[in-house]
Amino acid sequence: MGFEAWDWIDENRVGNHLKFEKSSPVQAPAGEVFAWHQQPGAFERLTPPWSRIEVIERPSRIENGSRVVIRMKVGPVWRRWVAEYCDFEQGRQFADVQPEGPFAYWRHLHRFSADGETASRLKDLIEYELPLGALGRALAGRHARRELEREFRYRHAVTVGDLEMLERHRRAGAGPMHVLVSGSSGLIGSQLVHMLSCGGHRVTRLVRRPPRPGQAEVRLSAESGGFEGGGLEGLDAVVHLAGENVVAGFWNAGLKQRIRDSRVEGTRRLCEALAGLDPPPRALVCASALGYYGDRGDEELEERSGPGESFLADVCRQWEAATEPAREAGMRVVKLRVGVVLSPAGGALVKMLTPFWLGLGGRLGHGRQWMSWIALDDALDVIYHALMDEQLEGPVNAVTPHPVTNAEFTKTLGRVLRRPTIFPAPAFALRLAVGELADELLLTSARVVPRRLTDRGHSFRYPQLEDALRHVLGR
């Protein structure tokens, strides 16, 4: 083992340091790829969802001498990492070095080269050294390289996917927009804000607390029904994602009322306020959910399918109806019926991971119920499509074209994690554990397809479940 480790080190050295390279073609001009990396939201878009990282300080722009300071978890310990930018050449490259952090040495060169007029190549070149010298290389060299490969496979997939999606809409005539986003601290909203910012759009956050001075934030006043904080001049579109978490706890009358009010009354108040703007935004993209369809067994459901009969189906029906003031004001309204969003940073998947990692995962109930899902990056693409496509309005199913049964989902997740899935959760046990929530979410069957999106030519980054899970989990 020792000789093998030293052979690997010799093969991956440059000068006195270890090296790592990753290169990918991008179907977008090099100047646009470079500009995308300069945007403040690029760091968050490139951070894998399994990483524990907090941004403490960031520069207003990347230039020689500017720096970013983060707090990251390395094993059980939180470490401070300072990255200072250098070797900046506009449109071509920039580098960051580590004056303080977990590596003994770190230099990361980001290089962008043209490949014709409409394509380019993205290249990351890293020279690094682990702590403890030869001992550190022998003990952790292979692990460090595997983690770099895992992280940069994810980073390049996100970069290529985002830029090629933005470029498709740009070629179709989409220009910069001013977008108001509610629910911007949630799983989808936080990444949507970063994606929009990287795409050159102006983003204002709709918040519940008083707006912070100097921040692009507004609040909807419960007293006046108007916006506090200003900054809505030239508002083009709104993405409304806010709402009480339906799995925040054991359902009782109070929580169910909060779930209903946060979606129905919250949406109605927002739409009435938007209708009062002069002029109102051109478009509203409002989140709904697949709960609209209820428990429908093996029936294939598309946007023309009627609502189900359950608490969540009734909430979704009223939720969508609450957008009517916006439609009456002339806004194009898209009602996104969002499926199970896959990300280890939040949502349903994060609740599954611990038992699956422990080898205790298994199907829920009989496992024949259909799950309609979507990877987080695809959910962002669907929202972006809804913002930019002026022919798209009404209900839109935000799911991939390939729903799976719970048994198939369980088997696929176990295969990706390399864990057995032999511990099923019987329906009666789920009902005892979470009550009504079991029948409303865990055991319900909704075989939903994105008919409106496919008819509009929308393409998905991860249409197949295993590819999506491997991307979001870095497996």
The rounded mean pLDDT for the chain is 91
Q: Check residue 19 and give its pLDDT.
A: 94
- The region of weakest confidence among 69-83, 372-386, 397-411, 444-458 is 69-83
Q: Check residue 438 and give its pLDDT.
A: 85
Specify the fold of 178-473.
Rossmann fold (3.40.50)
Domains 2-171 and 178-473 agree in fold:
no
Quote the tokens at residue 13.
Answer: 């050295």
Q: Check residue 182 and give its pLDDT.
A: 95
* Average pLDDT over every residue of 149-165: 96
Q: Check residue 250 and give its pLDDT.
A: 79
In angstroms, the CA 464 to CA 458 distance is 15
What are the E-state strand segments in 231-331? Answer: 237-240, 283-289, 300-301
In angstroms, the CA 447 to CA 194 distance is 31
Q: What is the pLDDT of residues 347-359, one digit of tens each?
A: 889 989 999 999 9
Quote the tokens at residue 345.
Answer: 């940073």
CB-based burial of residue 332 (10 Å sphere; 0-12 exposed, 13-18 middle, 19+ buried)? buried
Residue with tokens 């029936």: 299
* Average pLDDT over every residue of 271-292: 95
Q: What is the pLDDT of residues 48-68, one digit of tens each?
A: 999 988 899 988 888 999 999
Residue spans of alpha helices (H) in 15-119:
30-38, 42-46
Model confidence at 1, pLDDT cuts 50, 70, 90, reads very low
Radius of gyration from C-alpha coordinates of the chain = 24
CB-based burial of residue 114 (10 Å sphere; 0-12 exposed, 13-18 middle, 19+ buried)? middle
Neighbours of 90 (CB within 10 A): 11
Say if residue 180's pLDDT is above 80.
yes
The amino acid present at 37, given as its one-letter code, is: H
Phi, psi of 143 (to 5 degrees): -65, -45
Contact 445, 427 (CB under 8 A): no
The domain over range 2-171 is classified in CATH as 3.30.530.20: yes
Q: Check residue 286 and give its pLDDT.
A: 97
Contact 179, 240 (CB under 8 A): no
Q: What is the pLDDT of residues 104-125, one digit of tens each?
A: 999 999 999 999 889 999 999 9
* Average pLDDT over every residue of 114-142: 92
The H-or-E segment that residue 86 falls in is strand 77-89
In angstroms, the CA 174 to CA 248 distance is 38
Say if residue 11's pLDDT is above 60.
no
Quote the tokens at residue 178.
Answer: 């001013």
Q: Check residue 15 and give its pLDDT.
A: 56
In angstroms, the CA 445 to CA 371 distance is 7
Return the bridge partners of 52, or none: none
- The region of weakest confidence among 181-185, 348-352, 446-450 is 348-352
Give the domain ranges of the chain. Answer: 2-171, 178-473
* Average pLDDT over every residue of 171-181: 90
Model confidence at 76, pLDDT cuts 50, 70, 90, reads confident
Q: Check residue 12 and give its pLDDT.
A: 54
Q: What is the pLDDT of residues 284-320, one digit of tens each?
A: 999 999 999 999 999 999 999 999 999 999 999 999 9
Which bin fits 430, alpha (ψ -120 to 50), beta or left (φ > 0)?
Answer: alpha
DSSP annotation of 440 reads: I
Q: What is the pLDDT of residues 416-439, one digit of tens each?
A: 999 999 999 998 888 888 888 888
Over pLDDT 70: what percentage of the chain?
A: 97
- The region of weakest confidence among 3-7, 30-34, 132-136, 372-376 is 3-7
Of 153, 135, 157, the closest CA to residue 20 belongs to 153
DSSP string, 196-260: HHHTT-EEEEEESSPPPTTSSEEEE-TTTSSEES---TT--EEEE-----TTSSS--HHHHHHHH
Q: What is the pLDDT of residues 208-253, one digit of tens each?
A: 888 888 788 999 887 777 888 777 888 999 999 988 888 767 788 8
Q: Check residue 4 and give its pLDDT.
A: 34
Quote the tokens at residue 418.
Answer: 């390399």
